[in-house]
Chains A and B, each alone.
Chain A
Amino acid sequence: MKRDFGFLIIFAVVIIFAAEWIGFQSITIGSITITLLPLVFAILLTMVLGMSVFRKGIMKKVYSKANIGFASQYLIFIMLPLMARYGADVAPRIKDILQVGWVFIIQDLGNLGTVLIGLPIAVLLGLRREAIGATLGIGREGELAYISEKYTLESKEGRGVLSLYIIGTLFGALFFSVFAPILLDLGFRPEALAMASGVGSSSMMTGASSTLVARLPEMEETILSYAAASQLLTSFLGTFTMIFLAVPLQKFMYKLLVRGDEA
């Protein structure tokens, strides 16, 4: 196991080299520019190379059970320096942030957008009880805990939230790193997009705010501080927003949508 771990470190160094060497790439479609950062290449490369077809020889040692286990068990610790960095971004801007504190609080209600937009689409596609689990939130640990407690993970609701969890884990950061700058091109203010980045998942927040920083380097400090402050607020309020607002709203809309469907 010790020797396999060495392979993991060497592999990580090689991937970082490759991802940084590819560097920033942008694709322009009409008036919309999609910026791909090294972090996007890092996750794409490691995901693709981890597919079972490539797991031969040395790659089999890199993607050993112990190494994948290490990466998933300790990913959160590898992320901690990033979270510490966010503290330093918020501190110098704390006065500005508190001044528009109420904006941070109301935009946090935007998390209900998962129900408002996601639920009608889910019902339209023919999903029923799965839709409850799949649209309550962005399917992170909070929703997972709530759904598994109320319905168990073996239920249809549970399958819905688990599916969302898997999709979010695999593609969440990628999705937001592409989606955030699209809204920038559509005319949204960078401050608003930075605030919105605090969706409740650190990797998704990083995906969204990093591409905004890459597009507007002169606003780095504002973007990072707003995103981090909003993310902190979501960590505090997220559970309450879910239980007291998202759950009742979802119940109400579900009844309305499903009834309309039968008529």
Chain B
Amino acid sequence: MTKTTGLNQYVKYGLILLLSISLILLTQGIKLLKYGGGAPIDGMAIMGLLTLWLFSMIGIMITDVIKKADIPVLRSFPILGWVSITSLVMCLIFDFFVTAIQAVDFLSITTPILTFAGISVADRLVDLRKTSWKVAIVAVFVFMGTYLASALLAQFGLMISGN
């Protein structure tokens, strides 16, 4: 695949993000159609979607700048993290963004993502043959282990802090 650079690359990211927020809008619409109630598609929801698009773009640009500046500690910080931080900072400064973004139904954001996640692994299902059943069992305990240990520590911590 030819590597697109500079402005072209951002246009591409912008379009992919546009696809992403359009599918979120669609999902929220389907939910409305099915349940009648729920999060309405109004001006605020549209503003919310556009805000999500904007913060994602800013996060992408920050990641690029940091990669170019070659700051050792921050270089490995994922793009996903930068987008969350961008959004967090902007939302702390302007309450409007919180209202706008929360007008977008949360679960409507998740369905399109998992749709693409499923498609993306289509060719990797065959790789499962390379893994042994033993590692599969271990995987279950590894996932349970991290979640259970964190949950126990959190439960304990919250209890002590009296929350």
Chain A residues with CB under 8 Å of chain B are 8-9, 11-13, 15-17, 19-21, 23, 37-40, 42-47, 50-51, 63, 67-69, 71-72, 74-92, 94, 100, 102-104, 106-118, 121-122, 125-127, 130-131, 134-135, 137-139, 141, 159-160, 162-164, 166-173, 175-176, 179-180, 183, 188-189, 191-193, 195-199, 202-204, 206, 208, 210, 213-214, 220, 224, 228, 230-232, 235-236, 239
If A109-B153, A121-B141, A138-B146 touch, whether A173 touches B106 (CB-CB below 8 Å) is no
Chain A facing B: main interface SS: helix
If A12-B115, A189-B155 touch, whether A87 touches B120 (CB-CB below 8 Å) is no
A9 to chain B: closest CB distance in Å? 7
Chain B residues with CB under 8 Å of chain A are 1, 13, 16-17, 19-21, 23-24, 26-27, 30-31, 34, 49, 51-53, 55-56, 59-60, 76-81, 83-92, 97-98, 101-102, 104, 106-107, 109-125, 127-128, 130-132, 134-155, 157-158, 161, 163
- Tell me the nearest residue of chain A to B136, going by C-beta: A167
Give the complex CA separation of A183 and B150 in angstroms. 12
Task: Give 17 CB contacts A-B under 8 Å.
Answer: A13-B26, A15-B115, A43-B115, A75-B120, A81-B24, A83-B81, A90-B91, A109-B150, A111-B149, A114-B142, A114-B146, A134-B139, A193-B151, A202-B80, A210-B110, A213-B107, A232-B85
Q: Which 9 A/B pairs are nearest by Cβ-Cβ distance?
A: A87-B87, A46-B118, A110-B150, A113-B149, A50-B122, A117-B145, A103-B157, A91-B91, A113-B145
